[in-house]
């Protein structure tokens, strides 16, 4: 397993905190939007979109 850098860990922690905050809000529209954005972002990452974007 790859060891994460400090900055990578901080970004990951911020994403998790945003997920927790969204779920704690109880707002169904905000929760649905967050879930949709996570799904779309992961699909784009698996398709290699982000690596193409930064070349």
Q: Write out pLDDT tens, residues 12-34.
A: 999 999 999 999 999 999 999 99
**How much is the mean pLDDT over the chain?**
92
Indicate the pTM of the whole model. 0.71
More confident residue, 41 or 54: 41
Grade residue 47 by pLDDT with cuts at 50, 70 and 90.
very high
Query: CB of 34 within 8 A of CB of 19?
Result: yes
* Tokens encoding 27: 């707002």
Is pLDDT at 3 greater than 90 in this prediction? no
* Tokens encoding 4: 């994460």
DSSP the chain: -PPPPHHHHHHHHHHHHHHHHHHHH--HHHHHHHHHHHHHHHHHHHTTHHHHHT-
pLDDT at position 52: 85
């Amino acid at each position: 397993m790859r060891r994460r850098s400090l900055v990578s860990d901080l970004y990951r922690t911020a994403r998790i905190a945003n997920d927790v905050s969204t779920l704690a809000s109880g707002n169904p529209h905000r929760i649905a939007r967050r879930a949709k954005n996570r799904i779309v972002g992961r699909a784009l990452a698996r398709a290699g979109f982000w690596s193409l974007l930064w070349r």
